[in-house]
A and B are shown apart, each in its own frame.
Chain A
Amino acid sequence: MLRDTFYFLVAALVLLNGCANEEPGYPSRPISVLCPWAVGGGTDTCSRIFAAELERETGVPVNVINRIGGGGVTGHSAGARANPDGYTVLTITTEITMMHWRGLTDVSYRDYTPLCLFNRDAAALIVRGDAPWKNLKELRDHIESHPGELRASGTALGGIWHLGCIGALLAMDFSSDFVVWVPSHGAAPAMQELLSGGIHIVCCSLPEARSLLESGDAKALGVMAEERVAQFPDVPTLREQGVDWALGGWRGFALPRSAPPEVVAKVREVVSRVAGGESFQEFLRTSGFGVSFEDADAFANTLERDDRTSGRLIEKSLKGPSDEDQKVPGPWFFPLVLASGLVLLGFGLASTTRGEELERGAPTRQGKGVFVAVLAAVILYVVLAQGLGFLVTAALILFVLSKTLGAGVRASVLLAVTVSPAIYLLFSKVLRVPLPEGIISW
């Protein structure tokens, strides 16, 4: 009995270690940067370097969390719902001004409090190095005489580069279907399609196409910026060539809108200092990201302006079925084919085999108990982890499961108090992949 008490005491000590409650100014505990795009992409790289800089500046650990999928919908929605305590900083991108216009989500820029904008890249029109058009005017003439012939790509349907392409077409007094947009998973596959002759035009930022521009495999006919881009002085703007149009993608930092003003003020100060700092700017410059810094007010204006522009372009071009849509199978084509296949196969299987269970030997009573316990444990985690935190929930799961599997109380407790903190340390401290913190963290 005395021993059991001892084990529990050790457990309590281990778990409560570092569970400090004082709150001396911001930041006093780890910060997360929530990135709405996949690991390894441009936004992710920016977020990770920013996190490293923020960590150096503040001395608290800063981890990057990726919430990906749905063309940015998942991550941006998660950001709007994040804890507004200032310890989750959101990376947001131009797509936030576009998604709600397309009816993909209710979340819009109004759900955020902007902190600062740190990067802006203008869209550019890029063609093959051996393409017959030497400048924008020749391309324009070709489109005018062959409407609907050329194919362009660069991002998903309704993505920022697609809007850039549509805006350019509209500014040339063409209709948006004069060039057919082929969706792609970003600029890189589009450049590959361009090289292999699958499409004629890529609309993306100049740095994204740099390798092929330098090797001469591709050439840029114009950039949709107010003035020429410093690293690409030879690429004229659209305006210089008589097309009144500019558009770019940007990245910035924000908090959920519900963040209280005193939190916003503190976070804004720290984040702007780091994002506008020499080291981070140097990284952006050397990595080919367009350096552009806007403070919170300017960023708020940008958000509002871009949201209006996106709305106008999307209303004009992407609403209602176009001719192309009718030539391509609808969104339910593929799932329906698969579902019918499944039903057919299911009937086939049902007629040939009669529910033969392959497992030999009836499950034991204890076995069934553990089976339910495992399911319950995972459900327990889903329900409790955000509130209680990983350490406590995992310890609970370990204890209950090993107990159900026949281990003694002492052994189960020992397992719970060693394995749970070990995994927590491994993920949160060594690998820097944050786990739910809950009531106990260190």
Chain B
Amino acid sequence: MNLENLLDFSNPESFATLLRIVVVVLVAAAYGLFVGAIPGLTATMAVALVIPFTFFLDPISALAAIVTLEATAIFAGDIPSTLVRIPGTPSSAAYTDDAYALTERGEAGRSLGVSLLFSVFGGIFGGLVLMMAAPALAKIAVLFTTYEYFWLAILGLSSAAIVARGSLMKGLFSLLLGLLISTVGLDEVHGLARITFGVSDLAGGINFIPAMIGLFGLSEVLRNVLRPEAVHGRRQSTSESILGAGFRLMKKRFAHMLRSSGVGTLIGILPGAGADIAAWVSFAVSKKISKRPEKYGKGSLEGIGDATAANNSALAGAWVPALVFGIPGDSVTAIVIGVLIMKGLQPGPAIFEKTPEILYAVYATFILANLFLIPLGYLAIRLGKHIVRVPRRFLLPTIVVFCVVGSYAINNSIFDVGLMLGMGLLGFGLERYGFPVGPVVLGIVLGPMVEKNLMFSLIKSGGHYGEFFTRPVAGVLGVVTILLWVTPLVIRLRRRGLSRTSS
């Protein structure tokens, strides 16, 4: 069965298949929205929770369910991120501050409308790329080894410096703090426990999800309660249209949307980087070339759109190496490979030749799921928006309980609840003195990637640093990264020098 047959409605068998996909997609979309919107439960968790069901489903339905779950969950992560400043999934962390700033200005609907439509576009873009160029693009994934990933991680760190609003020094301070936090736990290269103070719960390192919930969510609660309610009362503009703002921005920024989706897909293809990193990088690129960079971090719809298009497009990108080589591009596609094998479908070139109908179903679902996301996401936003109207005396206690449950759920660990509290206090303290928390989160994400790829590379090369530049892709990435770090410093120093001589 090929794509034309699948869309040939006169053929009853293919019509039944299509109908089945539609039903599966609808159910999975509702479930994915739900799980993604709950802080602490990631898209991976949403997919893992349905593994037992995939055992009984036919392969096409199983894959359709997984595609839909991840697409909807990643968007849904934006909802709590925007409304209560708790990223629903790690992929929303890059633009949480922007989205929440808009909510505080009473523009939650606009922000979420942009999130929704740009997510849908990014998702469909990624799906189309997967459909048209998977085998060719898979070769890119193979160009990347530990040397390249090291540079990619450093490049990712530079995005923190770009993203940091206000003082660059404070942004860097936050970033270093995040990186340092990421070194807690068992060092994989030497097998030594670092900064764990003998606590066995710390041997596994600082768990990222509770850290994120504490830094963003709980710290906001703490900040919020110190303010009197009258000041806090958020303005609500009732006449705002959810989708209108999104469509207008899409029209205005079509080229940017295309670029962001491209960046996202490309990062998704790399097995060592996923949707969360895609969002950070795309946000940074967006700010770097923006004419109004000062608005980023304070409620920039442009930044939100570009980042959210990237994280959804990265999802399809991750399927590229998974389908072509059987190497998962992210944790969801790791599950996908397991499901494929369970159904007797070994990923690899053979799957493209022997069972193309499976792939057509995946492509079709990427597009279908994202189209369904428009009405369902719209409904979710309409429902979610009411949260803002709940009086503070009921809303804040509920948020605190969600912070607690969200940090507990992913690892079933009371220790993580305490960790979330500590991170909440840290985030509160940092923000009180003007240090942004976003770079801390980025540091925790990228720290292991920087360190491990550096160490693994040095073990490979026998301690020689040359190979960080002699491999072609690594060389280009390395030079770009170094320029990106050095140029602004040079310009700054020169400017300072000039202003000093003139005064």
Q: Is the CB of B417 within 8 A of A378?
A: yes
- Please give, as numbers and ranges, the residues of chain A lying within 8 Å of B454 by CB-CB distance: 334
The smallest C-beta distance from B295 to any residue of chain A, in angstroms, reads 18
- Please give, as numbers and ranges, the residues of chain B lying within 8 Å of A386 by CB-CB distance: 414
The smallest C-beta distance from A90 to any residue of chain B, in angstroms, reads 13
- Please give, as numbers and ranges, the residues of chain A lying within 8 Å of B251 by CB-CB distance: none
Is there a chain A Cβ closer than 8 Å to B312's Cβ?
A: no
Known: A38-B331, A215-B349. A70 touches B205 (CB 8 A): yes
A365-414 interface (Cβ within 8 A of B):
366-368, 370-371, 374-375, 377-379, 381-382, 385-386, 390, 394, 397-398, 401-402, 405-407, 411
- Please give, as numbers and ranges, the residues of chain B lying within 8 Å of A66 by CB-CB distance: 410-412
Is there a chain B Cβ closer than 8 Å to A77's Cβ?
A: yes
- Please give, as numbers and ranges, the residues of chain A lying within 8 Å of B409 by CB-CB distance: 427, 433, 435
Is there a chain B Cβ closer than 8 Å to A225's Cβ?
A: no
Chain B residue nearest to A180 in the complex (CB): B459
Is there a chain B Cβ closer than 8 Å to A135's Cβ?
A: no
Chain A residue nearest to B409 in the complex (CB): A433
Complex Cα–Cα for A379 and B434 (A): 27
Is there a chain A Cβ closer than 8 Å to B176's Cβ?
A: yes
- Please give, as numbers and ranges, the residues of chain B lying within 8 Å of A156 by CB-CB distance: 188
The smallest C-beta distance from A361 to any residue of chain B, in angstroms, reads 7
The smallest C-beta distance from A49 to any residue of chain B, in angstroms, reads 6
Stretch at the interface among A3-11, A116-124, A139-147, A321-329: A321-329
- Please give, as numbers and ranges, the residues of chain A lying within 8 Å of B334 by CB-CB distance: 40-41, 188
A206-230 interface (Cβ within 8 A of B):
207, 210-212, 214-215, 217
B191-241 interface (Cβ within 8 A of A):
191-195, 200-201, 203-205, 207, 218, 221-223, 225-229, 231
Is there a chain A Cβ closer than 8 Å to B185's Cβ?
A: yes
Q: Is the CB of B180 within 8 A of A335?
A: yes
Q: B200, B332, B393: which contacts A40 (Cβ < 8 A)?
A: B332
The smallest C-beta distance from B216 to any residue of chain A, in angstroms, reads 15
- Please give, as numbers and ranges, the residues of chain B lying within 8 Å of A14 by CB-CB distance: none
Is there a chain B Cβ closer than 8 Å to A67's Cβ?
A: yes
Q: Is the CB of A405 within 8 A of B393?
A: yes
Interface string of B452-485 (1 = CB under 8 A from A): 1011101110110000000000000000000000
Is there a chain A Cβ closer than 8 Å to B360's Cβ?
A: no
- Please give, as numbers and ranges, the residues of chain B lying within 8 Å of A196 by CB-CB distance: 142-145
Q: Is the CB of A70 within 8 A of B190?
A: no
Is there a chain B Cβ closer than 8 Å to A165's Cβ?
A: no
The smallest C-beta distance from A340 to any residue of chain B, in angstroms, reads 9
Q: Is the CB of A74 within 8 A of B394?
A: no
B303-358 interface (Cβ within 8 A of A):
321, 325-328, 331-332, 334-335, 338, 341-344, 346-350
Stretch at the interface among A19-27, A250-258, A280-288: A280-288
Q: Is the CB of B225 within 8 A of A370?
A: yes
Interface string of A336-357 (1 = CB under 8 A from B): 0011011001101100110111
Tell me the count of chain A residues lying within 8 A, CB to CB, of chain B. Answer: 124
Complex Cα–Cα for A275 and B451 (A): 40
- Please give, as numbers and ranges, the residues of chain A lying within 8 Å of B272 by CB-CB distance: 189
Q: Is the CB of B200 within 8 A of A73?
A: yes
Interface string of B363-397 (1 = CB under 8 A from A): 00000000000000000000000000001111011
Q: Is the CB of B48 within 8 A of A363?
A: no
Is there a chain A Cβ closer than 8 Å to B172's Cβ?
A: yes
Q: Is the CB of A401 within 8 A of B325?
A: no
Complex Cα–Cα for A415 and B45 (A): 28
Q: A157, A359, A364: which contacts B189 (Cβ < 8 A)?
A: A157
Is there a chain A Cβ closer than 8 Å to B35's Cβ?
A: yes
Q: Is the CB of A357 within 8 A of B433?
A: yes
Complex Cα–Cα for A52 and B144 (A): 38
Is there a chain B Cβ closer than 8 Å to A291's Cβ?
A: no
Interface string of A297-324 (1 = CB under 8 A from B): 0000000000000000000001000001
- Please give, as numbers and ranges, the residues of chain B lying within 8 Å of A342 by CB-CB distance: 173, 176-177, 180
The smallest C-beta distance from B211 to any residue of chain A, in angstroms, reads 13
- Please give, as numbers and ranges, the residues of chain B lying within 8 Å of A51 by CB-CB distance: 52
Is there a chain A Cβ closer than 8 Å to B398's Cβ?
A: yes
Known: A157-B188, A283-B55. A358 touches B432 (CB 8 A): yes
Complex Cα–Cα for A43 and B80 (A): 31
Known: A287-B342, A348-B169. A192 touches B141 (CB 8 A): yes
Q: Is the CB of B200 within 8 A of A105?
A: yes
The smallest C-beta distance from B205 to any residue of chain A, in angstroms, reads 5
- Please give, as numbers and ranges, the residues of chain B lying within 8 Å of A381 by CB-CB distance: 404, 417
A152-192 interface (Cβ within 8 A of B):
156-158, 180-185, 188-189, 191-192
- Please give, as numbers and ranges, the residues of chain A lying within 8 Å of B328 by CB-CB distance: 188
Q: Is the CB of A398 within 8 A of B397?
A: yes
Q: Is the CB of B342 within 8 A of A286?
A: yes
Q: Is the CB of B207 within 8 A of A394?
A: no
Is there a chain A Cβ closer than 8 Å to B405's Cβ?
A: yes
Chain B residues in the interface with A (C-beta under 8 A): 35, 38, 41, 44-45, 47-49, 51-52, 55, 141-147, 167, 169-170, 172-173, 176-177, 179-180, 183, 185-195, 200-201, 203-205, 207, 218, 221-223, 225-229, 231, 271-272, 321, 325-328, 331-332, 334-335, 338, 341-344, 346-350, 391-394, 396-398, 400-405, 408-414, 417-418, 420-421, 424-425, 431-434, 450-452, 454-456, 458-460, 462-463
Chain A residues in the interface with B (C-beta under 8 A): 38-42, 44-45, 48-49, 51-52, 64-71, 73-74, 77-78, 102-105, 151, 156-158, 180-185, 188-189, 191-193, 195-199, 207, 210-212, 214-215, 217, 283, 286-288, 318, 324-332, 334-335, 338-339, 341-342, 345-346, 348-349, 352-353, 355-359, 361, 363-364, 366-368, 370-371, 374-375, 377-379, 381-382, 385-386, 390, 394, 397-398, 401-402, 405-407, 411, 415, 419-420, 423, 426-427, 431-436
Identify 16 new A-B residue pairs, CB closer than 8 A, beyond the known A287-B338, A332-B194, A342-B180: A67-B204, A69-B204, A70-B204, A104-B186, A104-B203, A151-B460, A180-B462, A181-B459, A183-B456, A188-B326, A188-B334, A288-B341, A328-B458, A378-B218, A378-B404, A433-B45
